[in-house]
Structure 1
Amino acid sequence: MLPGDGELRASLRKLQREGYGVALICDRRPSALAVADVGIGLLGRSPGTPWAAHFLCGPDLAGACRLLDAVEAARTTSRRSARISSVGSAAALLLAAAGPGFGSSARAAMAVHAAMAFAMADGAWAAMTLARRPDPVPEQRTPWHAWPAEAVLSSLDSSASGLAREEAARRRAAGEEERGEPASPGFGRILLEELDNPLTPALAAGAGISAVLGSAVDAALIAAVLGVNASMSGVQRLGVDRALRRLVDLSAVRTRVRRPDADTPVPVSGDELVPGDVIALTAGDAVPADCRLLAAEDLEVDESSLTGESQLVAKSPAPSTAGAVADRYSMLYQGTVVAVGEGIAVVVATGDRTEIGRTTRLAPEQRRPGGVQTHLRRLTDVTLPLSLGAGVVLMVAQLLRGRTLGQALGPAVALTVGAVPEGLPFVATAAQLATARRLSARGALVRDPTTIEPLGRVDVLCFDKTGTLTEGRLRLRQVSDGVTARPLDDLTPRTREVVAAALRANPDHNGGRLPHPTDRAIMRGAEQLEMAPTEGVGEWERVDELPFEPSRGYHAVLGQAPEGQLLSVKGAPEILLDRCSRWTTDDGTADFDDAARAAVHEEVDRLARTGYRVLAVAERPASDRADLTESRIRDLRFVGLLGIADPIRPTAADAVVRLSAAGAQVIVITGDHPSTAEAVAAELGVLDGRVATGAELDEIADDRLAEEIAGIAVFARMSPEQKARVVRALRGAGRVVAVTGDGANDVPAIRLADVGIALGERATPAAREAADVVVTDNRIETIADAIAESRAMWRSTRNALAVLLGGNLGEVAFTVGAGLLSGRSPLNVRQLLLVNLLTDMLPAIALAIRSPEGATQEELLQEGPERSLGAVLGRDIAVRAATTAAAAQTAWLLARPLGTRGQTDTTGLVALVGTQLAQTVAAGGRDPLVVGAGLVSLAVLAFVVQTPGVSHFFGCRPLAPHGWAVALGTAVAFALVAAVLTRRLGVQNIADRSPGRHSDDSHTAAQAATNGV
């Protein structure tokens, strides 16, 4: 019963008092709609119009869903607009104060209007992006699985012979129009996303002020730096998207569809299907859409990609009343694979309306600010105020010396703009781009370079079992005589007899591929043992066989041996053991009495609990009858048991050990049976907690889930929703989570994780689309390599940031110090930008993109953001800032009595650049890219300084040999001082550390010293 109007108003006000912003969606109750913070009225559901609502939407809730989807986009756009407005107001104030009173209002209005136009354009772009999103997909409520096949065809207006081509084309066009075009980011959108950082508004405002003050070249230089940054990142993202699209296209499903005018099924692409199409499926086919079975013959389907269960599922066209997807035997679902048999089915859902589509939408993609972003934001929060403060100090000093506000504002703005580290976002982007390129060469395709940073911080890896930790293919692993099991590589003559009998009971494949995976596992095991069906019985020839059927539970073969006919049977123990009257013991053949039967059942249970699929094998001599019927499967002699399992990947155990040593907890999370999952975890050595099932998880409240998860190592029988809930709880506890999977059932967890990883060529298109990283070489160890490479990025980024930020702060200190001593700024805006271009672009980027040398993968796995970007980075910045400023100031003071004012300032400029380049080369060691970048920058500096026209353009003066000697001598001397200080501080840092600290906090300075700082 719905609450009354007064009760609803009281509930709304209670939520508002608790601090919630409340939205109400309804078709009437005007007083309650007026109370809500946001009232959304639905038209057409009841008489009248809910005029009290703030918004009016259609009756189908699609408009209301779109409105709620817009909340986050509106919040982000509002924050960005506020930042743009603040920058515009500050620029207006400066422009109004600069210059004569006449025209000050016009100059201020120009800045305000420019900011307003930019904010409006940004908001319009966000609105258009939101409008391009497809409408929400309604839930499928039609119980196709419970309807008779004839009713399904009637409801879909189809027939057993399928749809006519014209009708299929009409339905396909109607479906595309209804869904609309999905919103895919173009290059322009990517550029805007890359430019959305705290430095962009400040640099844009500075460029605008410089342009108004007559420095259009300065503005162009700033715009060029920002454009290169965004363009390079955008090109990388588009390239990765194209590569992923090629992967998806290559895995496109082909199927055969029935047409009334065609005698045989017509081959089509799976994405061309529409509801009502009738398709034919056989063993090996991938199911291209959600379908209702119309006919089936011995049909078994591998649904592990959807449910996580590695057992095959028998299908039947009879109606099913099961509620769980995994139990609906009358349905076939997109992404599953036909393993055995064949069937005819009618398509009931495609695209987003399939079970995979709904699974994909369970969890939106979420991304938290990472270590690099967080530290860069902190650095930005420090450097921007310092730059502004330095400009204010210089402006005040100029005013105190009697200069006008306009005369004082120019150098201040020049210092502020030149001191902003415009290369700061680019360094991190370049480092991530370079790492992404290196990973792509090693089999890990990164969709977005920003994924590199959280990948390096991962401390929890949730692995799916089937096809990820395991090979995804069944293998014969254990052979038992009914009492004792032995591995395949250590069989006795008696246990070899079990395999030989099972091989005789295998279907006749006539040189082709056996359809059932258990049969293939037995054949591969026999091939490994170099065994033939004749082993132990002499010449043997197949006479007749009874094929396996789910209702029968076994496969039987009648063969001719030298001593007569031999009946060989393999199948489910619970069926076959009841048909046995004798068994083989060490002393020969004995009665299969109750004690023997109990012992074998205990062995079956033991093997099943350790994760094996168990088959029983039995034989007996048979009469000369050439036919084989079910009535002859009796009085068998029990031979033994086969333990078949999906084996651990050969490299998985080593990769898990490496990841655990790096501080990353490994959790197994699967839809498979608890005993199977537990056995896999034990074999990998990660069973350091208890095993929990999805049913147990549902009994734990959300507020206790994070605490309970800490003691769980294996999650079994998990649905997609439950996997996503585990990931959400881990993230809520502050963990950085990576989820690895290959099936559609993994998609919600992959999307919700900090890093989603689709593993191998077997990954479904849905998993690849949702993943941040696609491991293309099917190797578990590639994940460990990717994490190590991502952590290595921090080493390179730290050196680049130290040079960049230390150099910029050194520029500020030198400019302010020399300005206070001489009463004027020693460097103009062009010179400051020249310094940044020569030191922040090629050299700093060369440091950022290089791969750390002399470090093993194990050492790199011990890296962490705090270790590389915390106190050590602050120390390096301080050392380099102090030595850079001291070098420039010393050279400037030494040059004052030796030349003109212009030559003195140029000497300080050369010393400033030279010190930073020398520190860059020292940090890069013998890396040829770093050395080359330093030499190129030095050559450009010499060209600019010594070429008369160019030198005058930048405000420099050509230097005599003694000027170069002073500048370069001080630069080298102070660069050496910086290296010595950094190394000594690093040694002291090691001495101050306790040996028991976490790896992310240890050995920081030692790594810095060995890194060539």
Structure 2
Amino acid sequence: MGYNELPSAKPRSVFAIAFEVAKEPMFLLLVAGGLIYLLLGDLQEALMLLGFVFVVMGITLFQERKTERALEALRDLSSPRALVIRDGEHKRIAGREVVPGDLIVLSEGDRVPADAELLSCANLSADESLLTGESVSVRKVCSDGMAAMARPGGDDLPFVYSGSLVVQGHGLAVVKATGLHTEIGKIGKALQKVESYETALQKETTHLVRNLAILGLGLCALVVIVYGLTRDNWIEGFLAGITMAMAVLPEEFPVVLTVFLALGAWRISQNRVLTRRVPAVETLGSATVLCVDKTGTLTMNRMKVKKIFASGEFYEIDDARERLPEAIHEVIEFSILASQIDPFDPMEKAFNQLGLDYLAKTEHIHSDWELVQEYPLSKKLLAMSRVWRSPSGKDYVIAAKGAPEAIADLSHIDEAQHQHLSGAIQSMADEGLRVLGVSRAYFGGTDLPDGQHDFRFQFLGLIGMEDPVRPGVREAIQECYSAGINVKMITGDYPGTAQAIAKQIGLPSNQVVTGPELEKMSDSELQKRLKEVSIFSRVVPEQKLRLVQALKANGEIVAMTGDGVNDATALKAANIGIAMGGRGTDVAREAASLVLLDDDFSSIVKAVRLGRRIFDNLKKAMAYILAIHVPIAGMSLIPVLLEWPLVFFPVQVVFLELIIDPACSVAFEAEPEEADVMSRPPRDPMKPLFSRYTIGLSLLQGLSVLVIVMAVYAVSLYRGQGEAEARALTYTTLIIANLGLILTNRSWSRTILETMRTPNPALWLVVGGALTFLAMVVYVPFLRDLFGFGYLHFIDIALCFMAGVASILWFEGLKMVNGRIN
């Protein structure tokens, strides 16, 4: 049978994971680029490029251990200490040592070590929210020996489940299932089977890098052959070919993707959101559906008295209220007397808290009374009573609480009172409140009766409780709607409760699909209903997973929030799993992509805003990379084909890379968000980063720069200014045009002059650094000779500046035209 724990998968070694990572095309290209630099003798650039390889590999290694950590967390949760009866003796053993057939003793506050059948119990209630999502504890009954082991959820089941918490009463149970065979074990098994996925952007970047690498190798071979055949100098041809490969080799793409996502994760963490899976940063901006678990996510996961019905009237319990009406003091008094002295049950805690807040210094709190006897709740009578004796009184005082119908039965109310009471119960239930009745009795005899019905109870009133909505949830959901994100509530709670919460937070509440209804639906019918319904209640864990999968089948990008064990599989299957960090379980946190460290629902909206900003800036950076490589590649190829002197050698290309790399990976990443970032719909998940429009604009930008730079070079040669001066003029023009491309791509809707008002210190460091290096290679003799440049006068620099600026003017004009149209 094995231990009562989830089996741990054998972890892969670091070397095995590293080998898998190293087989990816983008990593192979990074290594190849580093080796090329080594062959060229440029050790610094080679080490920098190879250093990126190890950084990216380290991040990937960290992410690959998500599944192992999730399973370890599940094992820890499912193996508490257990009190068992073996050979007639009580023994405290490790939960992992419990076996089927063991008798386990359960008391208030115990974590249940295994799935078990109750042989005896008194007032036993369990919190199964980790398994079912129900915020209210469920009542347990003793087994009649005939029932088969059933799924968790709902009252009056004679079973307790591994990982659940006993909140009231005590009992004796026989173990029926351990380890993987428990309900929590089945969740762990399902979690193991859910596969992680590669994001669309990763696939797209890999595909683009591979194609550009093939193009670069092809052009490299072409340059070597053409140069060798036309000039009969194969060594210089090989050098020209290496330069061509370096000009086209797309090493920036994977580096930029990694840097943007890593820095994006850091920025998101500043808003108290921990990124556990870095690619989720990219996916955030395209989320179209947010699946919300009600308990502990939209609500506080604690009970609070909301309304009291007494003397034929309703009384709202408002936090702003300084005093409570006298008419309800007695209801609160006897609800406390009917509860444990130091309660663990959330509802009894709510009664006690209300008494402490409003009745602490009144005659209604009886800390000096003696508890004489307790009448437990039973399946036949869903009410419990506690008998008290005061120090000064002779009579016994009996307080009862329970289901309203049971309390009404104990109180022997007449038909007219019963109808009035039924209307009040229904009214409170329609508001999603958990309703309990309270009554009192006095007994003057010496021997207490055997049953509760032997007392003459007087009905006092009804108490309606709610699990309060978290502050700021309504506003956060409205922001989601304004950003084009649909919100779905998926909960294990009752339909009425779910609808009441939905009304409070602004979700459409006219339609509800329950778990049993969902069970009968085909996949196609479910996909259709998901387009119409926002509330799903009485849902079990496997159905949460099915809902996520159906949404994904509809083409949605799904973000799923949750905090319980029951959410783990859906969190992992969703495009973006968002776990609650404060109240959430280890299992949920380990399986999720993001963790809200402060459990603040509004942090999700901030994370989405940042996700959209990151994607916008990533798109700008990628477009810039594509654009700037066009003139570099063109100026490496065209002079070879036209048998002109070479413009670029490897050292010039390396210098350009020193500008390009920080520009695309730091300056663009730090660019603030666009004004409409949260007022536009999510990015079409089917639309690639490199759309035809994006590629077309990038190529046009690059070609316009290439035409200007080539014209400067041709005119310089035609005027007989010599190779060195022509190369210096051409290179300076290209640097100025490069800086122009950086500035114009800061925004595709605002002009350069408009973006100047938006601060970006990293950008000006790049621009200042580029101009400083340019001045050094033009005017420091040693560097000028190394680069093969001639001396440039002020008029030459001015001409280069005007030519460089001219290359991007058309795009600035296009922005102005589009701005007027929009």
TM bracket (short chain): 0.7 to 0.9
- What is residue 753 of structure 2 aligned with on the other side? none
Secondary structure of residue in 2 paired with 1:442: coil
Please give the alpha-carbon distance, in whole angstroms, between the structure 2 residues aligned to 1:809 and 1:308. 56
Amino acid at match of 2:376: E
SS of the aligned residue for 1:686 comes to: coil
Residue pairs, 1:720-799, within 5 angstroms: 720-799=541-620
2:128 is aligned to 303
- Shifted more, 616-625 versus 727-736: the winner is 616-625
> Alpha carbons of 1:335 and 1:544: their partners in 2 closer, same or farther (altered >3 Å)?
closer
| Cα distance change of structure 1 residues 275 and 229 upon mapping to structure 2, 3 Å threshold | farther
Q: Distance in 2 between matches of 1:647 and 1:194?
A: 50
- Which residue does the alignment assign to 1:284? 109
2:369 is aligned, of 542, 546, 556, to 542
Is the aligned partner of 1:373 residue 2:197?
no
TM-score, length of structure 2 as denominator length: 0.84
Match of 2:294 among 446, 465, 480: 465
Pick closer, same or farther for the CA change 1:227–1:206 going to 2, 3 Å: closer
In 2, the alpha carbon distance for the partners of 1:372 and 1:992 equals: 31
Q: 2 CA distance for matches of 1:527 and 1:194?
A: 63
- Code of the residue aligned with 2:349 in structure 1: it is R
Paired letter, 1:421: P
1:326 aligns with 2:133: no
Cα distance in 1 for partners of 2:804, 2:296 equals 54
How far apart are residue 374 of structure 1 and its match?
5.7
Would the aligned equivalents of 1:464 and 1:670 in 2 still touch at CA under 8 Å? yes
Tell me if structure 2 keeps the 8 A contact 1:287–1:335.
yes
1:210-254 Cα deviation digits (max 9, x unpaired): 69xx94537995685255145246248638969996995998675
Of 649, 662, 675, 2:483 maps to 662
3-state SS of paired residue (1:505) = helix
Equivalent residue, structure 2, for 1:653: 474
**Residue 685 (structure 1) aligns with:** 506
CA 1:850–1:320 in 2, change beyond 3 Å: closer, same or farther?
farther
Task: Go from structure 1 to structure 2 and tell me whether the alpha carbon gap of 1:207 and 1:240 turns closer, same or farther (over 3 Å shift).
Answer: closer
Could you tell me whether the CA contact under 8 Å between 2:485 and 2:682 is conserved in 1?
no
State the Cα deviation string for residues 133-158 of structure 1 (Å, max 9, x = none). xxxxxxxxxxxxxxxxxxxxxxx8xx
Q: CA deviation at 1:798?
A: 2.3
SS at match of 1:326: coil
Report the secondary structure of 2:152's partner residue. helix
Q: 2:49 aligns with which of 221, 225, 229?
A: 225
Does structure 2 retain, via aligned residues, the 8 Å contact 1:482–1:600?
Answer: no
2: CA distance between counterparts of 1:337 and 1:540? 28
Q: Which deviates more from structure 2 when the two are superposed, residues 858-867 or residues 354-363?
A: 858-867
C-alpha separation between the residues in 1 aligned to 2:371 and 2:97?
43
Residues 574 and 444 of structure 1, relative CA distance in 2, 3 Å threshold: same
Q: Secondary structure at the match of 1:325?
A: coil
Cα 1:499–1:680 shift into 2, 3 Å: farther
Report how far residue 696 of structure 1 moved: 1.3
Q: Tell me if structure 2 keeps the 8 A contact 1:254–1:267.
A: no
**Distance across 1 between alignment mates of 2:219 and 2:198:** 29
Instruction: Tell me the CA shift for residue 614 of structure 1.
Output: 0.6
Q: Deviations over 1:704-730 (max 9, x none)?
A: 321222122111111222221111111
Segment of structure 1 superposing worse, 763-772 or 290-299: 290-299
2:669 equivalent to 1:845: no
Distance 1:796 1:977 in 2: 24
Partner SS for 1:734? coil
- Over 3 Å counting, the alpha-carbon distance change for 1:300 and 1:307 in structure 2 is same
8 Å contact 2:116–2:161 — kept in the other structure? yes
> 1:400: how far off?
6.9
RMSD across aligned C-alpha pairs, in angstroms?
Answer: 4.4
Residue 139 of structure 2 contacts residue 157 of structure 2 at CA under 8 Å; is this kept in 1?
A: yes
After TM superposition, the structure 1 = structure 2 runs for residues 454-493 of structure 1, keeping only pairs within 5 Å, are 454-481=283-310, 485-489=314-318
Residue 578 of structure 1 is matched in structure 2 by 409
CA gap of 1:656–1:271, structure 2 versus 1, over 3 A, is farther
Identify the match of residue 414 of structure 1 among 231, 243, 254. 243
Cα separation, 2, equivalents of 1:857 and 1:250: 42
Equivalent residues in 2 for 1:594-609 (5 A)? 594-609=415-430
In 2, Cα distance between equivalents of 1:813 and 1:360: 56
**1:931 maps to what in 2?**
764
- How far residue 869 of structure 1 moved from its aligned partner, in angstroms, is 6.1
Cα distance in structure 1, aligned partners of 2:57 and 2:778: 33
Q: Which residue of 1 aligns with 2:787?
A: 956
Please state if 1:612 is matched with 2:433: yes
Change (3 A) 1:674 1:228: same
Structure 2 CA distance for partners of 1:558 and 1:972, relative to 1, 3 Å: farther
Rounded to whole Å, the distance in 2 between the matches of 1:900 and 1:277 is 95
1:872-918 CA deviation, whole Å, 9 max, x = no partner?
64465245413542453355346545754245334433433343245
The one-letter amino acid paired with 2:131 is L
Match of 1:904 in 2: 726
CA drift at 1:443: 2.1
Hey, what's the Cα distance between the residues in 2 that align with 1:796 and 1:681?
A: 36
Instruction: For 2:679 and 2:475, locate their aligned partners in 1 and report how far apart those are by CA, in whole Å.
Output: 16
For structure 2, which runs of at least 5 residues remain unmatched after alignment? 747-755
Q: Pairwise mapping of residues 108-147 of structure 1 onto structure 2 (< 5 A)?
A: none
| CA drift at 1:737 | 0.8
- Supply the AA of the counterpart residue of 1:911: T
Tell me how far apart the structure 2 counterparts of residues 741 and 921 of structure 1 sit (CA, whole Å). Answer: 42
SS at match of 1:519: helix
User: Which range moved further: 387-396 or 713-722?
Assistant: 387-396
Q: Which residue number corresponds to residue 193 of structure 1?
A: 21
For 2:281, give the aligned amino acid: I
Partner of 2:261: 432
Shift of 1:806: 1.1
Q: Deviations over 1:774-798 (max 9, x none)?
A: 2221111111211111111012212
C-alpha distance 493-369 of structure 1, shift in aligned 2 (>3 A):
closer
TM-score in terms of structure 1 length: 0.69
In structure 1, how many angstroms separate the alpha carbons of the residues matched to 2:204 and 2:482?
26
SS in 2 for 1:852: coil
Measure the CA separation in 1 of the matches of 2:708 and 2:267.
Answer: 37
Instruction: State whether residues 8 and 68 of structure 2, in contact with CA within 8 Å, keep that contact through their aligned partners in structure 1.
Output: no
Q: 1:668 to 1:259 in 2, by over 3 A?
A: same
What residue ranges of structure 1 are gaps of 5+ in the alignment? 1-155, 157-170, 582-591, 994-1013
How far has the Cα of 1:559 moved from its partner?
A: 6.3
Q: Does the CA-based 8 Å contact 1:258-1:264 persist in structure 2?
A: yes
Which stretch has the larger CA shift, 637-646 or 940-949? Answer: 940-949
Identify if the C-alpha distance between structure 1 residues 626 and 764 changes in structure 2 by more than 3 Å, giving closer, same or farther.
Answer: same
Match of 1:497 in 2: 327
AA at the equivalent of 2:243: A
Cα deviation 1:595-654 (Å, max 9, x = unaligned): 221121132133224321111122356548696864576443322211112121122222
Q: Which amino acid counterpart does residue 332 of structure 2 have in structure 1?
A: A
Aligned residue pair count: 798
